[in-house]
Amino acid sequence: MTDTPTPPELLQPAAEPEKAPPDEVRFRRSHLYAALLPLAFVAGLGAGFLFWGRDQAPPQAQAAAPDAPSGAIDLRAQQGQVRLEVSPDDDAALGPEDAPVTIIEFSDFNCRYCRRFHHETFGPLLERFADQIRFVYRDFPVVGGFEAAQAAECAREQGDFWGFHDALFNSEGVALDRDLYQILAEELGLHPEALIACLEEGRYAAEVEADARYAASLGVNGTPTFFINGIPIVGAQPLTVFTQIIEAELSEGS
């Protein structure tokens, strides 16, 4: 899940992900960190990764997930081997803009492995590296999270993307629908009516779809997928995997 290689004993196999296709992508080969050489990324069911397939994707996911271009990179096979140029765009972010390490996540609020990452790794990662990382959330709704992604953008418009983000991932076993969005908006002190009006207007539909197309152009075909300073990480890998790569990047920049 990175542009640099990683140690085999640390990486967990990535569960069959939810698939969406990629576009042409510019990338450059990166040197291998000696500390990461022992680590290998394995494909499988361990870490948790959802692939998108047109035979199983809900209508709204199909609307957001583009067809894969002919020159797409296989990120699962290349993780730890390449470094891509990945734009944060103007999406929601935590941490200083000049942080030495930027993590960009492509995620779906309805993805169980994305939820696992949020519950097990997201918080500890932010606590451990504090002002050293900037975390950017971008949308790749492949398992029915298309409207949830828009709802989060509508919440961002009211000044609380991250509160809504956390609330969505904490809503396990509950349908992601407008009734829930209204409840969450009320609990967060937002204006539920304005949020629903924003959804009905489809104010952020094009933006979410653009995120999905861009992700596909990078070779992203499932969730969650991360880029740590452009190094791809596929699946809800354990904290140790993120930590090793981040520390290597910090060491390189020091």
Q: How many angstroms from the chain centroid is the CA of residue 65?
A: 14
Predicted TM-score (pTM) of the model is 0.79
Residue 69 pLDDT class (50, 70, 90 cuts)? low
Rounded Cα distance between 251 and 254, Å, is 5
Rounded Cα distance between 159 and 180, Å, is 19
Q: What is the CATH number of domain 27-235?
A: 3.40.30.10
Q: How many angstroms from the chain centroid is the CA of residue 1?
A: 11
Rounded Cα distance between 119 and 5, Å, is 26
Q: Coil, strand, or helix at residue 134?
A: strand
Rounded Cα distance between 152 and 167, Å, is 10
pLDDT at position 76: 75
Look at the block and give the residue holding tokens 């791809």.
232
Q: Are strands 27-29 and 101-107 parallel, antiparallel or unpaired?
A: unpaired
Averaged over 120-138, what is the pLDDT?
97
pLDDT at position 67: 55
pLDDT at position 223: 95
Q: pLDDT tens for residues 38-50? A: 443 443 334 566 5
Is residue 209 pLDDT above 80, yes or no?
yes
Regarding predicted confidence, which is higher, 238 or 74?
238
Averaged over 98-118, what is the pLDDT?
97
Structure tokens that stand for 38 in this block: 């022992």
Q: pLDDT tens for residues 142-162? A: 889 999 999 999 999 999 999
The secondary structure element, H or E, covering residue 143 is: none
